[in-house]
Copies of this chain bind each other. A is one copy, B any other.
């Protein structure tokens, strides 16, 4: 048996994202175009020269710590959402956050690089990461080697098979408009695209009930009725961010 010492890795940055809680995060990146955020680079990696040339790439890999899952540890087998939460597969045949080394891998769109007084930030979109996620590495996405278009993906069905219809009450529409004017963020599109993916656990999909979902610092209240979701209210629109 070969033995290795544990290798220490330290975050080079931290994510500020529209998803303060796990509920609502898309199950794969790229599905929600309006999910935005920033990667704040931390010392000693907050030097502009370290990201010079990165703006030539439209997409990045982010290697990050599944910080919301670390405390729960890992299990040898998991029930991935792709299989409706029923069938179990080996943890290495899944993208589950509960892994022996809880390192996540996500592709995001790079929309800009901002050097500000308070730090160096990468502006991101199509993000599926929890707010405050520690980041270990950034790599440019190189399509000629990273995009394996003919890869076979076994049991994973194509996405958006269950895309939902999303409606807003007049009150919710107005709250979105106020928020968008204040922040410049496309809240209505973010809510619509997030709900279209149906964030409910598979076990709750037959129920008629109301949900709360945190996006940025607002709470979105919505009702699920079969294939149709109704956004009934947005709380906290006036809060300072």
Contact = CB atoms under 8 A, between A and B. Distances in A.
Nearest to A152: B58
A138 B93 CA distance: 8
Interface string A40-72: 101111011111111111110101010000000
A61 B105 contact: yes
A29 interface: yes
Given A57-B153, A90-B53, A95-B142, A137 B103 contact: yes
Contacts of A178: none
Interface in A91-116: 91-95, 99-101, 103, 105, 107
B92 A54 contact: yes
Given A142-B156, A145-B30, A9 B101 contact: yes
A11 B4 contact: yes
Interface string A198-234: 0000000000000000000000000000000000000
A49 B90 contact: yes
Contacts of A1: 42-43
Copies in the assembly, this chain: 2
B152 A148 contact: no
Contact of A10 (B7, B54, B142, B152): B7
Interface residues on A, range: 35 or more
Contacts of A151: 57-59, 141-143, 146-147
A8 interface: yes
Contacts of A89: 52-54
B146 A148 contact: yes
Q: Top 4 closest A-B pairs, CB basis?
A: A56-B154, A53-B89, A53-B93, A6-B8
Interface of A: 1-2, 4-12, 14, 28-31, 40, 42-45, 47-59, 61, 63, 65, 76-77, 88-95, 99-101, 103, 105, 107, 134, 136-156, 158-159
